[in-house]
């Protein structure tokens, strides 16, 4: 990357930040949406990420190939803060007595995507991971960063990224195998004929016909 572009970002050049937004806003949005499963939250994360990038522009290294790791590192921190705020919000709502009102599902329907079920299933599986493992997995697998770039984004050694990603894949593989395991068949008890009712003739049609013939003799 042109060092003058980084210098302009560090200096707070508006045109440089406009270029930064046009080039990477979609990547940040996809990363945030896959992590949260909510469009409105992902849009908030994008806004907060670029606001933080402006505030932290002086910490951008003057040299490097791409500013995307720096930007995704900021997005990861924003997601952490957003998750903590969401947990506090849910806890506060849980303490409020529920009113007998009809919920409004309009926003949920609007935000639905064609692959919503798969995304929900993937996010449910990711919740079984530790936060650090989940962050590495979303950056490396969903956002396509290599080990070095993810390490730069998270501010950790490459070896840490490798080990966290390995643990995440092992756990997710075990969850997938468990989910796909066939359900054991339930053995049904042997079929039994109902107990004869008083006066009922047991046996097949032949026995019944024979009994009728004997009665008519």
CATH of the domain at 38: 1.10.1740.10
Please check whether residues 90 and 123 belong to one and the same domain.
Answer: no
Do the domain assignments include residue 36? yes
Q: Which domain holds residue 170?
A: 118-180
Mean pLDDT by 10 residues, the chain (217 residues): 83 93 94 88 92 92 88 92 59 50 42 54 76 88 87 91 91 76 58 53 49 49
Domain count, the chain: 2
Please check whether residues 75 and 122 belong to one and the same domain.
Answer: no
Answer yes or no: pTM beyond 0.85.
Answer: no
CATH of the domain at 156: 1.10.10.10
pLDDT at 53: 94
On the CB side of 179, CA atoms within 13 Å amount to 10
Do the domain assignments include residue 103? no
Q: Could you write out the DSSP letters of every residue in 149-184?
A: HHHHHHTS-HHHHHHHHHHHHHHHHHHHHHHHSPPP
pLDDT at 212: 46
Residues 6+ apart with CB under 8 A from 196: 202
125 close to 172: Cβ distance less than 8 angstroms: yes
Please check whether residues 70 and 126 belong to one and the same domain.
Answer: no
Do the domain assignments include residue 110? no
Do the domain assignments include residue 100? no
pLDDT at 143: 83
Please check whether residues 2 and 36 belong to one and the same domain.
Answer: yes
- Residue pLDDT, tens place only, 26-61: 999 999 998 888 888 899 999 999 999 999 999 898
73 closest CA partner among 11, 27, 33 = 27
Please check whether residues 41 and 3 belong to one and the same domain.
Answer: yes
Do the domain assignments include residue 60? yes
Please check whether residues 164 and 133 belong to one and the same domain.
Answer: yes
pLDDT at 127: 79
pLDDT at 106: 40
Helix (H, G, I), strand (E, B) or coil at 23: helix
Do the domain assignments include residue 113? no
Helix (H, G, I), strand (E, B) or coil at 70: helix
pLDDT at 184: 59
Do the domain assignments include residue 208? no
């Amino acid at each position: 990357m042109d060092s003058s572009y980084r210098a302009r970002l560090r200096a707070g050049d508006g045109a440089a930040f406009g270029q930064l937004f046009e080039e990477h806003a979609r990547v940040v949005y996809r990363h945030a949406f896959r992590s949260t499963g909510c469009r409105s939250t992902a849009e908030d994360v994008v806004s907060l990420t670029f606001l933080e990038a402006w505030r932290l522009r002086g910490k951008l290294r003057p040299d490097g190939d791409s500013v995307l790791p720096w930007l995704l590192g900021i997005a990861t921190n924003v997601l952490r803060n957003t998750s903590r705020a969401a947990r506090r919000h849910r806890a506060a709502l849980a303490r409020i007595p529920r009113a007998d009102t009809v919920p409004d599902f309009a926003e949920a329907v609007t935000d639905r995507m064609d692959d919503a079920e798969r995304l929900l299933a993937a996010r449910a599986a990711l919740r079984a991971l530790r936060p650090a493992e989940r962050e590495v997995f979303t950056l490396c697998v969903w956002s396509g960063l290599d080990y070095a770039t993810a390490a730069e984004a998270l501010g950790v050694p490459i070896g840490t990224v490798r080990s966290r990603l390995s643990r995440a894949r092992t756990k997710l593989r075990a969850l997938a195998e468990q989910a796909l395991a066939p359900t054991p068949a339930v053995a049904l008890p042997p079929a039994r004929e109902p107990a004869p009712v008083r006066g009922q003739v047991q046996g097949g049609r032949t026995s019944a016909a024979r009994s009728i013939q004997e009665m008519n003799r």
